[in-house]
Homo-oligomer: A and B are copies of this chain.
Amino acid sequence: MSALNVNENELQEIRSSFVDEETLLPVIVQDDESKEVLMLAYISREALEISLSTGRGTYFSRSRRQIWVKGESSGNRQWIRAVSFDCDSDAVLFRVHQEGAACHTGEKSCFHHRIS
């Protein structure tokens, strides 16, 4: 566990997008080495603060209505290398080192259903 170095101006900007404790933003999780997109999760302001202070990918489960540390039960932890957000300040991108598989099915990426 180690806190990430943070650009305070940018952090204030994204914090303002969480208008209350219920607000969730989508967060794209990308493997920092292979650049593969691993998963799409949702994050609350609290989950973002925990992610930044621990360096561990931490999200908000919409189905269980609670904070969720990726890999806490599976061991497939995510170590955050970089955090950015988009021009509308309504989506977040984590670049991570992924231990093991990101998907609960055992696939490396959750995006393994190919339409084309």
Residues of B within 8 A of A35 (CB): 35-36
Kindly name the residue among A14, A80, A116 whose own CB sees the greatest number of chain B CB atoms within 10 A.
A116
| Interface residue? A93 (CB, 8 A) | yes
A37 near B40 (CB under 8 angstroms)?
A: no
Please give, as numbers and ranges, the residues of chain B lying within 8 Å of A114 by CB-CB distance: 7, 10, 82-84
A73 part of interface (Cβ distance < 8 Å): no
Smallest beta-carbon distance A102→chain B, Å: 10
Query: For the complex, what is the distance from the CA of A107 to the CA of B85, rounded to whole Å?
Result: 13
**Interface set, chain A 27-80, CB cutoff 8 A to B:** 28, 30, 35-37, 39-40, 52, 80
Known: A7-B114, A37-B37. 12 other contacts (CB 8 A): A5-B116, A10-B115, A14-B115, A26-B40, A37-B93, A39-B86, A82-B114, A84-B112, A85-B115, A86-B103, A87-B105, A93-B111
Binding site for B on A (CB under 8 A): 4-7, 10-11, 13-14, 26, 28, 30, 35-37, 39-40, 52, 80, 82-89, 91, 93, 103-105, 107, 110-116
